[in-house]
Amino acid sequence: MPLPNRWLTACLVRYEGHTLLIDCGEGTQITMRRTGWSFKSIDCICFTHFHGDHIGGLPGMLLTIGNSGRTEPLLLVGPKGLRRIAEGLLMIAPDLPFPIEYHEIESPDEVLSICGVRVLPFRADHRVTCYGYRVELDRLPKFDPERAKEQNIPLPYWKHLQQGETITDGDRTYTPDMVLGSPRKGLIFCYCTDSRPKNTIIEGARDADLFICEGMYGDPEKQKSAKEKKHMTYVEAARIAKEAEVKELWLTHYSPSVVNPSEHLELAQQIFPNTQVCRDRRETTLRFLDE
Amino acid sequence: MPLPNRWLTACLVRYEGHTLLIDCGEGTQITMRRTGWSFKSIDCICFTHFHGDHIGGLPGMLLTIGNSGRTEPLLLVGPKGLRRIAEGLLMIAPDLPFPIEYHEIESPDEVLSICGVRVLPFRADHRVTCYGYRVELDRLPKFDPERAKEQNIPLPYWKHLQQGETITDGDRTYTPDMVLGSPRKGLIFCYCTDSRPKNTIIEGARDADLFICEGMYGDPEKQKSAKEKKHMTYVEAARIAKEAEVKELWLTHYSPSVVNPSEHLELAQQIFPNTQVCRDRRETTLRFLDE
């Protein structure tokens, strides 16, 4: 339920000029305008599930993206039924200047290549079919120019080898391992709402640099409500973060009854110290190690 | 297009515990929460037309009304196609705890009794079928207790006669004119967006105490854009207000290109002096004459 100073939960991931939006409740486009982020570069919107607070802003968002001058296709990803529901909502946005493509998740083992990153949906446990999303960005191994020179590899091939390609030139073959160092850790981001705790979430969040997870209630006395409504408490989210060995946990998607999200935060921090609360428009930049 | 500090246009009319909403764009429910108005008392939502900025907030609004504990039916009024479009949007709000009734306007001569007032839709002139709404509230003639006493009318009948009812008691018949004074002016409110100027709007706004009208552009140089996009300039709205002899004109529904709505206001005021600009959450109370 959108409150005057706490709007509906959504998440925007940007990478090299591409924008991936996860969920789009009522007001998401207004928040985006406040932050100044580009509408035109939204290539994909992933939906966790089809409750109104996660998809109600779709028609307005697409109309605004249309006004931004986008003509390239836009991909919608979500549980089965996505096309039917989106087409219902889009009755009020019939003349978009860009085509919409749909990808309905058939199984939780899918790996999607979107916006230059890998997107891996995983099953959550809510009142309706719901997915969390793991986003992975690889980091290329370090290129060693000294080794390339020693082996007399022509300069024009360096870039291709660095990208992992194999080059054949006459009877000579150049392979990436000739010039690349050992594998380097990439970046992992994980987003999960709405759900009860579930092992699939632990796997989806495994080793994440940032894990954004719902925490409907901070007060442990609300444990019963959380269970009934198929949501989580802060403490439950912190246990997942600990188990998954993530670096940082951000809590979000608070109940309207939670007036001050920082209350009871320390209970979660006792389990997973790097637990933080989200406020509207919170942002961060994830960087490769030592970058 | 919703801007961070200027949201989509909508209008809420309250009368004796009833609430009538006209249009419901994305974010209307958030504004309502800021103003503190009651969701539960919304008995009717009238739509001018089905562009996204006027109806996109419907599913979220109905979900929130549902959360408010309403179980009484809620009436939706709008141009033909209303049910089809609303049912599309309501795919994300499938389990509302109150029934929805639909009234699709068949002709512009309809008079609807809603929320204790008369609602008269009239045709506007936009890119799609669009209606303005005239809202009329009668004022009963003054009751004269001295005349009632002189004619020995029993006290229990006074209230009924005052409400305009005729009472028969044995062989005596009591009629309202026996105790009521001359007719008194009621209240008239008129709301019109989006439209080009049109005679039906003048009739719809005739003698209104308050006329809220779109003014997409203040700058007279935008006259051509207004015409092309089927909107109005401030000056065009002021001409209607003058012609309809309204008491007060509020301009609304500005283009995103209008940074300061007060700019060019004086051009409209030269035509209709009591022209004012709306800002978000502007409100007023209309009162009967001498009340």
- Paired with A238 in beta bridges are none
Using a pLDDT cut of 70, give the percent of chain A over it: 100
Using the structure block, give the residue that is written with the tokens 């003014």.
B215
Written as six digits, the tokens of B248 are 């007060």
Number of H helices, E strands in chain A: 10, 14
Q: Give SS3 for A177.
A: helix
Strand B18-22 vs strand A100-104: parallel, antiparallel, or unpaired? unpaired
Of A33, A51, A59, the CB nearest to B3: A33
Output the pLDDT for position B83: 98
How does pLDDT run across B92-122, given as a tens digit for each residue?
A: 999 999 999 999 999 888 999 999 999 999 9
Tell me the mean pLDDT in the region B167-196: 93
Among candidate residues A232, A139, A131, the one with its CA nearest the CA of residue A188: A139
Considering only CB atoms, B55 lies closest to which of A84, A88, A92, namely A92
Q: Which amino acid is at A32?
A: M
pLDDT at A141 over 80: yes
- The band of A163, judged by pLDDT with boundaries at 50, 70 and 90, is confident
ipTM of the shown complex: 0.83
Q: Give the helix/strand (H/E) hosting A87.
A: helix A82-89
Task: Tally the residues of chain A.
Answer: 291
Q: Which of residues 22-41 of B touch A (CB under 8 A)?
A: 25-27, 29-30, 33-34
Q: Bridge partners of B2?
A: none
pLDDT tens digit sequence for A227-284: 999 999 999 999 999 999 999 999 999 999 999 999 999 999 999 999 999 999 999 9
Beta-carbon separation of A26 and B26 below 8 A: yes
- Cα–Cα distance between B291 and B288 in angstroms, integer? 5
In sequence order, the β-bridge partners of residue B211 are: B190, B249
Cβ atoms of B8 and A5 closer than 8 Å: no
CA angle, corner B35, sides to B30 and B38, nearest 5?
85
CA dist A43 → A23, A38, A88, A103 (Å): 13, 11, 21, 13
Q: Tell me the three state secondary structure of residue B115.
A: coil
Nearest-angstrom CA–CA distance, B28 and B39: 11
Residue A104: partners with Cβ closer than 8 Å, 6 or more residues away = A78, A79, A80, A81, A82, A83
Which DSSP helix (H) or strand (E) runs through A220? none
Q: Going by C-beta distance under 8 Å and a sequence separation of 6 or more, which residues neighbour residue B276? A: B248, B249, B250, B251, B265
**Closest residue in B to A52 (Cα–Cα):** B92
Residues 6+ apart with CB under 8 A from A165: A176
Q: What is the pLDDT of residue B133?
A: 98
Antiparallel, parallel or unpaired: β A11-15 and A18-22: antiparallel
With b for 16 or more beta-carbon neighbours within 10 A and e for fewer, the A160-188 pattern comes to: ebbeeeebeeeeeebebebbbeeeeeebb
B60 interaction partners in chain A (CB closer than 8 Å): 2, 25-26, 52-53, 56
* A259 in contact with chain B, both atoms CB, cutoff 8 A: no
> What percent of chain B has pLDDT above 70?
100
Q: With contact defined as beta carbons under 8 Å apart, do B253 and B282 qualify?
A: no
φ/ψ bin of B230: left (φ > 0), alpha (ψ from -120 to 50), beta (otherwise): left
Q: Which residue has the tokens 């961060």?
A: A284
**Measured between alpha carbons, how far is A108 from A121 in angstroms, rounded to an integer?**
6
B261 touches chain A (CB under 8 A): no
- What's the CA gap between A141 and A164, in Å, rounded? 9
Q: State whether residue A66 sits within 8 Å of chain B by CB.
A: no
- pTM for this structure? 0.88
Q: Is the pLDDT of residue B291 over 80?
A: no
